[in-house]
Chain A
């Protein structure tokens, strides 16, 4: 297990280098000069080439691209992600402010989705064609079909405008006011959770249906085990493997940013940070964010892989000694 973990962690390094280098290259190839983005539109005409060169040199953008990348990588190894060109703040600070928000949003919405969707998916699979199954399928179809931004606006209309139970938007850090923090997390979490719920529910149902038709389930039943034990102890464990994989991928996707949700609820997440940085050609911020998202995505996948072994003890990792 330890060797397997070490091998996976070592394999991350070239992936991170490759991804960040490609992003670095793409940013430089895309039209748009970060220096020009620093100057208001109506003052652009007054900006001389000499001033542009001076600004470019100050930002370190006057050197060859490979050299700039190498410098960036060396700085990263020293824990320095550089400074935002646009916001003039350390990139680490910007990421430290945004990433926990997105991470919390991702984990809570996945938790909500799993808590609701897995039991419904199991129930639907156990009683296929029943009222509960049909209702669950309809709800899942609606959840998958409804775009996130629409669900978000609908929830605001109902819970903020009409019922006035929850705020329509804004963000409060948990340390500043825990209650206000919870209030402002509910609608975004439910919005994101709704789409995840639908996917998770459908996947759980189909996976369970398949598992319930396996020979070992029939054997378990013929041994006289209770329906509850057959489903929870035998079928669900196996059925959960594709579900866990999907959940892992969904967390990774949310960490990459949920721009629509962040814009609608005025949330300081990674999505908006990235979007603003891309439009402003704020290279250090884009690079830092890509680095963080890439590493997080790979770590989550690693956790997912280890979860397989917890769910199904028959699964062994390559390189791990057999017990």
Chain B
């Protein structure tokens, strides 16, 4: 009798569970949410904390607004500032602010908030990535409740782009929330003026945004939830997309793309993002000799890297400045073509016709190591022995920091962090660069660099950046080899009005999700 009762109870439990599951599966259809798969963890949403992560930029650009917004055509458009003016001498910038905006915490957005944010960005300790961008600002003052004036130490033609950045202190945080909660708490309870606000966050797992019902701008999308799910495993990410659990996947691994494209309704694309280069130590043998640098550039074969490492979603580099920069030019000198005879001639000119050996320390990520293995095989053909040191990130940093002079070469990837035309060059070149390995500082280049911020005419400015590019290429300060594209996929049958921001990130303000 007792056993029969037990069996009955078990059957009823299973039935109840099955019914519950069926009911909930049906309920999922009614949701107007979309789920974005991200392959990295968002650590903090305090804009004082610098982060190179794409996911971080995606989320922060939805929560926060900048004063000015960068258009997809590179234009500067109004955002929290309605209009602006730069004085004739370039020493002051005046911005008029919207008067109908409040932060997510209810506090008003006004001139005092802008002063607080920009002054924070100028602070070396709390400025995050803005410290360099705001480097020529002397002070910022409120002109009444809804206008500010920025006073410069020197004219800076980049100031508007700096105010339109997609991360750092250019994005306006609520001073009230920040000071009430403190930096540590604010990082997990951010308050901006953006179209979405944070609903919940399980760090390393999932982050959910909901619309800001008091958003000042136009929002035509119907999504009532945007979920960012961290999926670090590439196979699991693909399966999540195939199962329909996620509808957008940004920054997927190139190798997964063909499989994802087989899912019905899928639309795929790629966003050009920056340049990848082999950085060479200009201050130590063997790369203090320009012929050795040119020998490496001639010996490497970029095509296998494009196909095997980037799945075809990259193009051979023509210099440091990539196509997503206004300073890119099709007429720029092309990457030195693979030419083994030329490589051998350069080696002979350097006085080491039989080649040499050099070491690269690299963070052990598959695409980096694969690239270097291809180069290793290429370079061996001319007698150059490339020794790859694949290290965990902490080990890699510790080794370089301990004695930077030992680093003979490195692997550098500059993704689009700013749209300043000379931004890519600044990462490597100029006497201001603290890059211990490259540190390219020559008078000819330096004169052009120092002269640049005072040129407000766009064409003249770009012409000068191109001239700097040519010098950097002539001296082969790094070996840029590809301009990668960040691949993405989304379900076109579920999401309409898919768009990207001027920075090539998702702009889901107007996403319309099929019910």
Question: A residues engaging B (CB < 8 A)?
Answer: 30-33, 36-37, 39-46, 83, 86-89, 97, 149, 152-153, 156-157, 160-161, 164-171, 176, 179-180, 182-183, 263-268, 272-273, 276, 279-281
Give the residue of A46, A169, A180, A264 whose beta carbon is less than 8 angstroms from that of B229: A169
Centre residue among A86, A169, A263, A268 by max chain B CB count within 10 A: A169
Q: Which of B231, B245, B398 contacts A167 (CB 8 A)?
A: B245
**Smallest CB–CB gap between A80 and chain B, Å?**
15
- Say yes or no: A165-B25 contact (C-beta < 8 A), given A32-B398, A170-B245: yes
Closest to B27 in A: A179
List A contacts of B202 (CB < 8 A). 97, 171, 268
Which 7 interchain pairs have the tightest Cβ spacing? A32-B394, A160-B243, A179-B24, A268-B205, A168-B243, A264-B236, A168-B240
| A280-B435 Cα distance, complex, nearest whole Å | 23
Q: Is the CB of A167 within 8 A of B243?
A: yes
How many angstroms between the C-alpha atoms of A182 and B427 in the bound complex?
49
Residues from chain A with a CB closer than 8 A to the CB of B200 are 176
Complex contact B242–A161 (CB within 8 A): yes
- With known contacts A41-B52, A168-B243, A264-B236, A88–B206 Cβ distance under 8 A: no
Determine the distance from Cα of A69 to Cα of B235 in the docked complex, in whole angstroms. 41
Starting from the known contacts A165-B21, A166-B21, 16 additional A-B residue pairs (CB-CB under 8 Å) come to A36-B401, A43-B50, A44-B397, A89-B188, A156-B240, A160-B239, A169-B229, A171-B206, A179-B24, A180-B24, A263-B236, A264-B236, A266-B236, A268-B203, A276-B204, A281-B394
Indicate which residue in B25, B184, B399, B417 contacts A89 across the interface (CB closer than 8 Å).
B184
With A and B bound together, what is the CA distance between A268 and B232 in angstroms? Answer: 12
A43 vs chain B, min Cβ distance (A): 6
Q: How far is the CA of A37 from the CA of B436 in the complex (A)?
A: 18
B332, chain A: closest CB distance, angstroms: 23
A168–B242 alpha-carbon span in the complex (Å): 9
Known contacts A153-B235, A168-B240; is-contact A267 B43 (Cβ 8 Å)? no
Q: Report chain A residues within 8 Å CB of B339.
A: none
Residues of B within 8 A of A281 (CB): 394
Contact-residue bracket for chain B: 35 or more
Q: Which residues of B are found within 8 Å of A32, using beta-carbon distances?
A: 392-395, 397-398
CA distance A179 to B21 in the complex (A): 7
Residues of B within 8 A of A279 (CB): 392-394
Instruction: Write out the residue numbers on chain A whose beta carbons fall within 8 Å of the beta carbon of B188.
Output: 89
- Decide: A160 near B245, CB < 8 A? Known: A42-B414, A42-B427: yes
B44 within 8 A of A: yes
Asked whether any CB of chain A lies closer than 8 Å to the CB of B154, the reply is no
Residues of B within 8 A of A43 (CB): 50, 129
Contact between B43 and A86, CB atoms less than 8 A apart: yes
Beta-carbon contact of B233 and A264 below 8 Å: yes
Q: A31-B394, A171-B205 are in contact. Are A161 and B243 (CB under 8 A)?
A: yes
Q: Is B187 an interface residue (CB 8 A)?
A: yes
Chain A CB within 10 Å, residue with most, of B17, B24, B433: B24
B334 nearest CB across to chain A (Å): 26
Interface bits B238-259 vs A (CB < 8 Å: 1, else 0): 0110111100000000000000
* B20 sits at the interface (CB 8 A): yes
Q: Contact check, B397 vs A164: say whether CB atoms are below 8 A apart.
A: no
Closest to B399 in A: A31
CB neighbours of B393 from chain A (8 A): 32, 37, 279
B51 within 8 A of A: yes
Shortest Cβ distance from A152 into B: residue = B236
Q: Which residue of A lies closest to B35 (CB)?
A: A170
- Can you give 13 contacting A-B residue pairs, CB < 8 Å? A31-B395, A33-B394, A37-B397, A45-B434, A157-B239, A168-B245, A170-B206, A170-B229, A182-B21, A265-B236, A266-B229, A266-B236, A268-B204
Interface positions of B (Cβ within 8 A of A): 17, 20-21, 23-25, 41, 43-44, 50-52, 129, 183-184, 187-188, 200, 202-206, 229-233, 235-236, 239-240, 242-245, 392-395, 397-401, 414, 417, 427, 433-436
Across-interface contacts of A33 in B (CB, < 8 A): 394, 397-398, 401
A residues in contact with B236, CB < 8 Å:
152-153, 156, 168-169, 263-266
Residues on the A chain within 8 Å of B394, using CB: 30-33, 36-37, 279-281
Is A266 touching B435 in the complex (CB atoms < 8 A)?
no
CB distance from B462 to the nearest CB of A (A): 24
CB distance from B417 to the nearest CB of A (A): 8
CA distance A308 to B395 in the complex (A): 47
Shortest distance between the CB of A79 and any CB in chain B (Å): 19
With contacts A169-B236, A179-B24, A268-B202 known, is A156 near B243, CB below 8 A? yes
Contact A39 B50 (CB under 8 A): yes
Shortest A277–chain B CB gap in Å is 11
| B245 and A45 contact, CB distance less than 8 A | no
In the assembled complex, the CB of A154 is this many whole angstroms from the nearest CB of chain B, namely 10
> In the complex, A280 Cα to B17 Cα: how many Å?
41
With both chains docked as a complex, state the minimum distance between the C-beta of B389 and any C-beta of chain A, in angstroms. Answer: 12
**Contacts of B436 on A, CB cut-off 8 Å?**
45
How distant is B34 from chain A, measured CB to nearest CB, in Å?
14
A273 to B203, CA, bound (A): 10
- A88-B184 in contact (CB<8A): yes
Closest to A178 in B: B20
CB closest chain-B residue, reference A180 = B24
Determine how close the nearest CB of chain B comes to the CB of A27; give it in whole angstroms. 11
State the Cβ distance, A264 to closest chain B Cβ, in Å.
Answer: 4
Contact yes or no, B204 A272, CB < 8 A: yes
The minimal Cβ–Cβ distance linking B253 to chain A, given in whole angstroms, is 14
Q: Once the chains bind, are B21 and A156 in contact (CB under 8 Å)?
A: no
Q: Across the two chains, which residue of chain A brings its CB closest to B245?
A: A168
A157 to B41, CA, bound (A): 25
- Cβ contacts under 8 Å, B401 to chain A: 33, 36, 44
* Shortest beta-carbon distance from B72 to chain A in Å: 25
In the bound assembly, the distance between CA atoms of A210 and B98 in angstroms comes to: 82
Most buried by A among B183, B205, B401, B427: B205
List residues of chain B with CB within 8 A of the CB of A183.
21, 24
Taken together as a complex, chains A and B put the C-alpha atoms of A164 and B392 apart, in Å, by 38
Once the chains bind, are B399 and A168 in contact (CB under 8 Å)?
A: no
Contact of B434 among A37, A46, A156 (CB under 8 A): A46
Looking at the assembled complex, report how far the CB atom of A145 sits from the nearest CB atom of chain B, in whole angstroms.
20
* Bound CA span A83–B203, Å: 15
B51 contact set on A, CB distance < 8 A: 40
Residues on the B chain within 8 Å of A280, using CB: 394
Contact B239–A87 (Cβ < 8 Å): no
| Shortest beta-carbon distance from A314 to chain B in Å | 27
Roughly how many angstroms separate A273 CA and B52 CA in the complex, as a whole number? 21
Q: Which residues of A contact B24 (CB under 8 A)?
A: 179-180, 183
Q: Which of B187, B239, B417 meets A161, CB within 8 Å? A: B239
Smallest Cβ-Cβ distance to A260: which chain B residue: B233
Question: Measured between alpha carbons, how far is A149 from B200 in the docked complex, in Å?
Answer: 28
Q: Which residues of B contact A179 (CB under 8 A)?
A: 20-21, 23-24
A26, B89: Cα distance in complex, Å: 59
Bound complex: CA A176 to CA B414 (Å):
41
- With both chains docked as a complex, state the minimum distance between the C-beta of A37 and any C-beta of chain B, in angstroms: 6
The smallest C-beta distance from B151 to any residue of chain A, in angstroms, reads 25
